[in-house]
Structure 1
């Protein structure tokens, strides 16, 4: 499914993968690395282009300008190189997500939206206000530096998620979770 309104996919791949013990982007899912697979998922969903947040020169990845800021650090870095417009943010470790879920998220009539119970994937409208919030986020107390705080600051929308789709938003942070997901 492809959307009519142009949007950019942002693939969050800049984390340290501490619990996994190795770089998640290099894990293989259905014969491709997660970096390749997730990028293709975003394109299949209708992204006009995909930007990788993380130090991946082979994918023209954009490293975090401010380290240890989690997903907000990645969004801050990519916001510096992107034009205003809709984004769909997808983590590297969610390989089962359906392109239709990403496409529906891209079309949500909201500045910020995510599915009930899952802060990622996330739809954002990149504009001056979002850039300003991201720019000041490194100075926030740690408990206020989160995607949930961003969602609240944007008066975000929570979209319903069909019970059968919950499993599609499973992510993996440990070798055991990866093994369970990959089996």
Structure 2
């Protein structure tokens, strides 16, 4: 039986959701002059993934559309497609809306999770996520089959598989964690991220957004 570290390492960028709170597809926001879609895939490659895909229907990049029976079921639908395609692989999974997850942090996470036999997640964050066993596919399918659709969540999968929990501060120091591990799900959160590092972002928010509502304090990201 192969050790987890001997399995191929693939990368999955979770995107393709409704992005209803952002008002536009988060994958098309710009950082470093690149879309978060392109940047996320590049970071997965730089972290050591042999092949990378976006979860969703993105014809301009390698992508894995949701299986028809799971369409509209959120992040677990994307995981189901990836794990069905390659169940006997390690999957490094990140969401498109965590723009502070640099490749160096992902490499550190993989080093800390190298000896796990099922996978790993951060103690207080769902991502980055490593799934390293065919048991992960069975877990995803079990949650997606649950009559309670609320059970089909990444948090539920982490608990079901009893994944190894890695302390957040083992990945990044506290003064950097607020930016490195932040989610940008709304225009306010995206602009707060950009204000914390203005040279790196280009705002591509919908025109109907009120300008004064965008500029919130970067204290929003304080630990």
TM norm structure 1: 0.90
The aligned counterpart of 2:184 is 172
The aligned counterpart of 2:71 is 67
Larger Rg computed on CA atoms: 2
Whole-Å separation in 1 of the counterparts to 2:77 and 2:184: 20
Report how many aligned residue pairs link the two structures: 179
The aligned counterpart of 2:212 is none
Whole-Å separation in 1 of the counterparts to 2:105 and 2:119: 15
Q: CA RMSD in A?
A: 1.7
Whole-Å separation in 2 of the counterparts to 1:134 and 1:32: 32
Question: Is 2:141 the counterpart of 1:135?
Answer: yes
Alpha-carbon displacement from aligned partner over 1:93-114 (angstroms, at most 9, x marks no partner): 1111122221232231221211
Structure 1 residue corresponding to 2:120, chosen from 113, 116, 137: 113
CA 126–15 in structure 1, closer or farther in 2 if over 3 Å, else same: farther
Whole-Å separation in 1 of the counterparts to 2:46 and 2:105: 11
Detail structure 1 runs of 4+ shifted over 6 Å in the superposition. Answer: none
Q: Secondary structure at the match of 1:47?
A: coil
Alpha-carbon displacement from aligned partner over 1:108-132 (angstroms, at most 9, x marks no partner): 12212111211111111141x2222
Is the contact made by 2:52 and 2:62 (CA closer than 8 Å) also made in structure 1? Answer: no
Whole-Å separation in 2 of the counterparts to 1:80 and 1:136: 13
| Aligned-residue offset at 1:142 | 2.5
Question: Is 2:88 the counterpart of 1:84?
Answer: yes
Whole-Å separation in 1 of the counterparts to 2:152 and 2:87: 23
- The structure with the greater share of residues assigned to strand is 1
The aligned counterpart of 2:10 is 8
TM norm structure 2: 0.75
The aligned counterpart of 2:27 is 25
Whole-Å separation in 1 of the counterparts to 2:194 and 2:56: 24
| Aligned-residue offset at 1:37 | 0.7
Q: Secondary structure at the match of 1:39?
A: helix
Whole-Å separation in 2 of the counterparts to 1:126 and 1:112: 7
Contiguous gaps of at least 5 residues in structure 2: 196-223
